[in-house]
Amino acid sequence: MRLKMLVSALFLLALLPLSAFAAGNSSLKGSYATVPGQDFKYDGKTVEVVEFMSFYCDHCYEFEKSIPVIMGNFPKKVKWSIVPIYWGQGSSKPGEAYFLARDAGKGDQMAKAIFHANFIEKKDIGDIATLESIAAKLGMPFDFSRRLRSGEKAAEASRALEMAGVYRIEETPSLVIAGNILTNPHASGHDIASFRDNAITIIKSIVE
């Protein structure tokens, strides 16, 4: 009898919607998965969103325009950060350049400039000379070139890839919201507008 009750209980548990398992928060809405081994984190004030992206990714370039829209829906309630990763034939250098610029307070400008160089100017963003030219236009410190060429941020670029593995990132862009809520464009048929709206739905269900 106890075995039958246990089996019945497990069966009913399996039927519960996914949203019921995100940190025990049954109010979450939208399409998402929860990251195993990671905790839900929300202090009641600010939702942290980590975007895993690639400067080689056309969907990431398209999605960049959606970020101000998402944040604009939640003034001062969203903390957004990006983790640049690369796969295949891509180079770690664009990500390294971004990390150097971020530390100098120019991360957003560098990200936009790298995207522009790749998708508009059709330049090789893995080429150090291209990145040096971008840095010069942004007024980066004089030692940017030396630090980029020496691989000062190579370890951080490697850690970004390791972090992507920890969070089960399978495509870019992917968002990790509030510590363990994972969503990407796959659920929306890779329609970036729908992906943006899904992110807004998830965040709204957290803050409200």
DSSP state of 176: E
**β-strands 78-84, 47-53 pairing:** parallel
CA distance 99 to 159: 12
More confident residue, 2 or 114: 114
Q: Quick check: 47 pLDDT over 80?
A: yes
Reply yes or no on whether the pLDDT at 1 is more than 90: no
CA–CA distance, 41 with 131 (Å, rounded to integer): 36
**Residue 6 predicted with pLDDT over 60:** no
Confidence tier at 15 by pLDDT (50, 70, 90)? very low
> How far is residue 32 from each of residues 95, 119, 180, 203, 206, measured CA to CA in Å?
26, 29, 10, 11, 13
Above pLDDT 90, what percent of the chain? 83
Cβ(138)–Cβ(109) below 8 Å: yes
Longest dimension (CA), the chain: 75
